[in-house]
Amino acid sequence: MRPKDHDVLILDGACGTNLQEMDIPDSAWDGREGCNEILNLTSPETITSLHRGFVDAGAMVLETNTFGANRIVLEEYGLEDQVEAINIAGIENARKAINGKPNTYIGGSVGPGTKLPSLGHISVDVMAAAYREQFQALVRAGVDLLIIETCQDLLQIKTAMTTCFEVLEEAGKDLPVMASVTIERSGTMLVGSDIATAAVTFEPFPIFSFGLNCATGPTDMESHIRYLSQNWPKRISCVPNQGMPEVVNGKTCYPMSPEEYGREMKRFINEYGVSVVGGCCGTTPDHTRQLVQSLSGVTPATREVIS
C-alpha cells in the first residue's frame, strides 16, 4: 500500500507536544523521561490513542513515533539495543490506529539525531550506520513511506538520503520518500545554509516531496515556500509549527488557532502550489480537522518553475 497521486496529501501532527498533554503513568517512562520513543514499547495504547485522534480528524498520513529512534539518540538513554524493537512497535501502533481505514498511510518518521557531522559531533560513517539500522527496521515492518524531517545540516541530509535509497534498493522496495528541512527565523538552517542550497542538495535524489517543517509558523516559512514554488519542480511540503511558542503561566503554548492554521495552509496551496501539508509542534487533532475542512475541494495552484 502506498499513497496515490492525491491533489493534496495531509499529514498528522507531532507526537512530542501532544504527549505532553496526555496522562502517561510515570512507570511508562522507565526512568527515561524525554525519550518519547520508549512509549512505543512501554505504553503502546498511549501512542495508538494519539494516532487515532488524527485518523479520526481526517489525516491521510500518520507519522510514526520514531523521530529519535536511531542508535545515536537511543544510546543516550541506554536503549541502543532496542532500535529494531522500537521502530517496529512504532509501525504497529500506527497500524492499530488506522484499523484498516482506506487511503490512510503510515509514514516512518526519521529525525536528524542529536549530533551533526558538519559540526564535528559525529563521523559520516557512524551516522550512516545508525540511519541504515533504522531504515531497515522501518522497511521490514511494512511502512508505506519514509519521512526524513527536521534536517539541519547538508552533510546530514546527504548521509540520510544516500543511506535511505541504498536500503530501499537492497530491499527491492519502491517507497515514496518525503524530505524537509528546518529553517530558523534567521533565514537559514542551523549550520547556515539557505533554502536554495538545501534544494540543490536534494535535487539529485528521487524524492516524493521536499519542503519545510518545524522551527516556525507559516509566516516565517512563506518566503522559503515562495522560492520552492518558483524553483522546485516536484511536490512541495509545508509542515509548520502552530506559530512561535509562548510561555503562559509557566507552560509552553502555541498560539495559532485551528481556523488560522487551515486558512494559511489553504492560501499556500492556492498561491504557491503546495501539495503536502501538515502540522508540527503544537498541532492537535482539532487543527487537523479544521485543515481537512478548509481544504475540501481545493487543488494546488499550477506552478511555473524557473528552469
**Which strand (E) or helix (H) includes residue 105?**
strand 105-110
| Non-local CB neighbours of 133 within 8 Å, separated by 6+ positions | 70, 71, 83, 84
What separation, in Å, do the N-terminal and C-terminal C-alpha atoms of the chain show? 34
Domains of the chain: 9-294 (3.20.20.330)
Q: Which residues of 65-90 are buried (b: 16+ CB within 10 A; e: fewer)?
A: bbbbbbbbbbeebebeebbbebbbbb
Q: What is the pLDDT of residue 217?
A: 97
Angle between helices 285-294 and 258-272 (to 10 degrees): 40
Residue 27's SS3 state is helix
| Non-local CB neighbours of 59 within 8 Å, separated by 6+ positions | 10, 11, 12, 13, 104, 278, 288, 292
- Per-residue pLDDT of the chain (307 residues), as tens digits, is 566 666 799 998 777 788 888 989 999 999 999 999 999 999 999 999 999 999 999 999 999 999 999 999 999 999 999 999 999 999 999 999 999 999 999 999 999 999 999 999 999 999 999 999 999 999 999 999 999 999 999 999 999 999 999 999 999 999 999 999 999 999 999 999 999 999 999 999 999 999 999 999 999 999 999 999 999 999 999 999 999 999 888 888 999 999 999 999 999 999 999 999 999 999 999 999 999 999 999 999 999 998 6
**Which strand (E) or helix (H) includes residue 55?**
helix 44-57
DSSP helix, strand, coil percent of the chain (3-state; round to 5): 45, 15, 40
Q: What is the pLDDT of residue 53?
A: 96
CB count within 10 Å of CB 37 equals 28
Q: What is the pLDDT of residue 4?
A: 66
Q: What is the pLDDT of residue 183?
A: 98
Q: How far apart are CA 134 and CA 132, in angstroms?
A: 5
